[in-house]
Every structure is written in structure tokens, then in C-alpha cells.
A = this chain, B = another copy of it.
């Protein structure tokens, strides 16, 4: 069979023989793929997953494992947090935009409790313990944490703060062997296997196979050999982001050039491209998660300043927001200024030292000296600290509304951490899908037989991010994709 088509769709009439057949064919065995597989299988479909690596897992298994859930999950309730779907929606609309898919965010919030219960029913363990310190993730196996700045300015004035970062209980957090992502993927892939889901590994999809407008299979490649895979009911794309596809990064999300992270190298955007070749619509291709490698415990106790020595964000917020603000709004220029006492306090916390121990870039007896050492214009940093201290004496931060518990005048001696280029991230944009995870054509109608979920789609995030939204919408809409594909098929059109 010719391979000159590249990502262009191939007519089914050209296929002489099918190497594999299934009702539902899923490309990618990460979080979206496994959840699609389970639901499709439970709906009675014969399911085949094609995975380009040697095993299930995807980026999900390597991730921290946060799933963004709320609206009053049993875990939230057990730990004394009140939340409603409406409150959750208020936060998500404010924090993940501008331009969020409002129907999708509403749908996701409404279905969030059911989704949590479903995960638990599949065997995903959540420990009833809350971690309330600033940080990227809890130091132990706590099951719940703030993960998007819900309890920090400006969102704590927009919606009632509730932690929504749900974390599968880790078996051995200290060694990191079985992290939250693994503990999410393991039970799900076990369920899939028990349900009889088949998987073929080392198989990369190349293009879609079409019969008229309808997607009826995929062409894939294993060890250089092309394979044809027939999908009797539907194809689900679950191939992840485009964080490692250089031309797409340059063309859509150039601020990430040279700084891909928290995704795996397999994330080459192939799912997006094969669907684009069929006229699929895209959304929010510039949106990116941005990790920031600074220690949240230190940042909350100090002040973050930009390349002009100005504060720009409430330092006690979700570090992913600090990352986005730094990369997108501050030209990747960031410094942490913190006095010796606060630094020692931060270093005494459990989370700070493990991930972030590093010496200050500069240390000085006065802010004036530090300012000079940092190469800032005379007065630039001094005035920032003066204004901060002036209000901190009264325990307030009217400029950025850091919470009073973290507000304390900056004394001396004082240290500066150079945090320029502390950012890295992955892409959030992708295929536009509807609430049944059907891939939407640029005409506005779904493409028959084609579904997608996970980071090859534009999910609940339009520009902002909260940890757990990727595994969240990936699993939520992965399930939808599996269910809808299982009931699809030429006869049901």
C-alpha cells in the first residue's frame, strides 16, 4: 500500500485487506484512551487500542495524577469542604479563560461528582486527607489539595474557595515509583483488560480511512510496516498534545519553543493533524499550561518581581498561574525576593527542600544592595519593597491581595533568586469536540465516526489552567467518546 498520502485520509475502497478490526478503535492508551476503552467495552463494543509505545500509560502515568473534580464530591464532603457545580463553574469560567467553551465547562461541572464516583468504582483510590500548604503536589499520599488558585486572589473573591485537585493515593510517594498518575492509570487499565479490551503496542497512527464522509478506520505503522485497522463503529483519537512537534509549536504556541515539559515525547500532534486533514475545527491552539520551577513555599513568603522589579502576582497562588503570568505577561522575567528569616522558615517545611533546594543567586544586607546586585535601576526594587512593607505592617496586600497569613514585611538580610527561564509547559489547544466528544468539522457539524478526547482536543481550558484539568477532561470526555462511539455506526446514522 502506498504511503504517499501522509496524514491525508485514505478511501476505504483502496483497502484490500484489514489487518485488524474492532467496533471501536482507539489511538493512544493514556487517560483518554483507557477511559474510552472502558466505556465502549461496557457498552458492548469490541475495542482495540493502538498505542505507539510499548505499554499503556501515556503522559498520564508519568504525571502527578491530579484530577480536577468538584461540585461536592464525597471526598470534598468527607474533608469538610462545601462545593456545588455552580460554584465550581464560576471558578472555572474565571480561571480557565478567556474564551472557555461554556457548554463544556457547564457539562463538566454538572457531571463531576458522578465522574468521581465512577473513578472510585473502577478502583482508583483516594485517601481522605487534605493538604493545605502551597505547593505543586502534596508531600505524602493526601487525596485533596487546591490546584488552581481557588483560595487565592482574584478567585477567592469570585467563587467560594474549594479544593478540587483529587489525587489517587500513591503507594510509595517518597521514592516516586508509583506516583498519582500511575495509581490512576493502573486500576483503569486493569479494568480495561478485564473487560477484554485488546491493545496493540508499538503502533503509530498515520491517517484515517474514510468511506465518503464517514471515518471507518485508521492506517497505522508498526516497525515500518503499514497496518490497516477497521473500525466498525468509530475511531477515538486520544494521542495527546503537540508539545513535541516543533513546527506546530512554532506556528501556534511559540512561547513554548525550547521549553516543552510535563508531556512525553510521543506528543507529536498526530491526532490533531489527521483530523485536520478531514476538515476538523481547532480551538485555542496558543493555550499552554506553564509550570514554574520555583518553590511555592518560598514564593508565598517572599515577593515575586518581574524584570523591572515590580510585583505582578499574588505569590500564594497556584504556581501554574505564576508560570503563565511570568512567561506570557512578563517576558519570562522573574525574581524572588525573600528575607533570611522567611527563607529559613520555608526551607523548614516539608515540601520546599525536596524539590527546590538551591542557594540564592544574590544575598545582601539591604534591599538597596540587592537591587544593585540584581542590576535593577536605582529605586526600582526598593520602592516595590517599601510599598509592600508599608501595607504588610498592617497585614494587608492591597496591590495583589496575597492572603494575610503570608503577608509579612520583608526584613534584612535579604536574598534574591533568579527565576528567569524557570518555565516549561505543554499545549492545551487542539480539536474542537462537542459534549459527546465528536470531532467537529469546520462546517460546525460532527465528522461521522470520529471522536477525540484528552490533550489532542481543546478541553475545559481556553487559556488559564488548573492542575488536574487535563486528566480531568481527558477522562471525562474519554468516557463520553467511548460511549458515543460504541453506539455509533453506519446503521445508527
Contact = CB atoms under 8 A, between A and B. Distances in A.
Contact of A276 (B7, B281, B312, B398): B281
Given A8-B443, A277-B441, A328-B328, 6 more contacts: A251-B458, A277-B442, A285-B285, A328-B329, A377-B398, A379-B391
Q: Which of A7, A252, A257, A391 has the most CB of B within 10 A?
A: A252
A283 B251 contact: yes
B442 A98 contact: no
A145 interface: no
A310 interface: yes
B284 A251 contact: yes
Nearest to A443: B6
A404 interface: no
Contacts of A282: 251-252, 282, 285
Contacts of A281: 251, 276
Contact of A442 (B99, B276, B377): B276
What 3 A-B pairs have minimum CB-CB distances, sorted nearest first? Answer: A99-B254, A286-B286, A383-B383
Interface in A341-392: 377-380, 383-384, 386-387, 390-391
A50 B152 CA distance: 54
A187 interface: no
Nearest to A329: B329
- How many copies the complex holds: the figure is 2
A308 interface: yes
A88 B398 CA distance: 45
Contact of A378 (B5, B7, B99, B391): B391
B443 A251 contact: no
A235 interface: no
A269 to B, nearest CB: 10
Contact of A284 (B252, B278, B377): B252
15 contacts: A251-B281, A251-B282, A252-B282, A252-B283, A252-B286, A254-B284, A273-B443, A276-B279, A276-B442, A277-B443, A310-B310, A377-B387, A378-B387, A378-B390, A379-B391
A463 interface: yes
Interface string A255-286: 10100000000000000010011110111111
Nearest to A383: B383
Contacts of A384: 383
A378 B387 CA distance: 8
